[in-house]
Amino acid sequence: MTSRKSLTLIGNYALLIVLGLLFALPFLYTLYTSVLHLEDVNKWAGISKWTFANYRLFFTNDAYNVPKWLVNTIVITALVILGNFIINPMVGFALAKLDFPGKNLIYWIVVASMMVPYHMILIPVYVNVAHLGWLNSVLGLTVPFLYQCLYIFMLRQFFMSIPNEFIEAARIDGLTKMGAFWRIVFPLAKSSLITMSILAFSGTWNSYLIPSTFTSDPAKYVLVVGLNSVKDQFFENTPLIMSGVVLTTLPILIFFFIFQKQYIEGISSSGVKG
């Protein structure tokens, strides 16, 4: 190896490590602080004892209601993912592999809606939800979000790359088009369906604007909204806040670590090129 090449390599590693530290620091700080006693915050040495009391407090103190928020978040996230998992692939398949009058119209509906910022329709959606009596209910936070145009578009791109011959072969073997969809396309598209699930999972789990608009009763909060309300009350109690951050973030990280390999592949093959 020439000295110039090894210099470049050292430079690359140095850059990676600096960037990596910058990105890891906030998370390490969060973990570290979450197990400190309040009087030890901002100390880097001479810490007498670790404690999990901050975490325990979240689950035992009635004022925070964390178990309830957690259940709300899990129910809402599960329902939204389920809806997206059924509805989006069907549209994606119709747009990628079928040819029918009205297809172009549906395609443009998907693409145009993708571009519209959600804030534009937030007020009328809020009014609709209120009219149905769905404020402070699971329905209001799930039904309007059972589909996502961005994911439909992404799945369409991926389904297009599945060779038509696969579907034709299945048809010759006697499968209907719907059968070909469930038996051929769904299993082949596994990695892009996982990609969509991770995005839908983190999007729903982390969403703040909509749940904070559609709920006012603390018993109906989701974790993120709840965490923000705790933060506002106990801003000076950093260890407590940080344990809340860990609690909110942990499920996403677990979900991501389980599926990360398929995820990276899913993005690479779904072809986002304009």
Q: What angle do CA 139, 66, 234 make, to 5 degrees?
A: 120
Distance of closest approach, residue 23 Cβ to other proteins, in angstroms = 5
Distance of closest approach, residue 66 Cβ to other proteins, in angstroms = 14
Distance from C-alpha of 145 to C-alpha of 79, rounded to nearest angstrom: 9
Choice between 1 and 115, CB closer to other proteins: 115
Neighbouring CB atoms inside 10 A of 207's CB total 20
Site for other proteins in 126-155 (CB under 8 A): 126-128, 143-144, 146-147, 152
* Inter-residue contact 66 to 58 (CB < 8 Å): yes
1 in contact with other proteins (CB under 8 A): no
205 in contact with other proteins (CB under 8 A): yes
Which residue type does 252 have? I
How far are the Cα atoms of 119, 122, 141 from residue 145, in angstroms, in the given order? 14, 12, 7
Among 208, 219, 254, 258, interactor with other proteins by CB under 8 A = 208
Among 38, 78, 82, 178, interactor with other proteins by CB under 8 A = 178
* Inter-residue contact 111 to 154 (CB < 8 Å): no
24 in contact with other proteins (CB under 8 A): yes
How far are the Cα atoms of 69, 205, 232, 242 from residue 81, in angstroms, in the given order? 18, 10, 30, 28
**Residue 16, SS3 per DSSP:** helix
Site for other proteins in 96-115 (CB under 8 A): 98-103, 106, 109, 113, 115
Among 42, 45, 163, 165, interactor with other proteins by CB under 8 A = 42
Site for other proteins in 47-106 (CB under 8 A): 86-88, 90-91, 93-94, 98-103, 106
Distance of closest approach, residue 29 Cβ to other proteins, in angstroms = 7
Stretch that binds other proteins, among 7-15, 58-66, 74-82, 184-192 (CB under 8 A): 7-15
* Inter-residue contact 72 to 222 (CB < 8 Å): yes
Distance of closest approach, residue 65 Cβ to other proteins, in angstroms = 17
Site for other proteins in 251-270 (CB under 8 A): 252-253, 256-257, 260, 264, 267-269
Which residues have a Cβ under 8 Å from the Cβ of 34 and sit 6 or more positions away?
Answer: 54, 55, 239, 242, 243, 245, 246
176 in contact with other proteins (CB under 8 A): yes
Residue 42, by phi and psi: left (phi above 0), alpha (psi -120 to 50) or beta?
left
Choice between 220 and 263, CB closer to other proteins: 263
Distance of closest approach, residue 37 Cβ to other proteins, in angstroms = 16
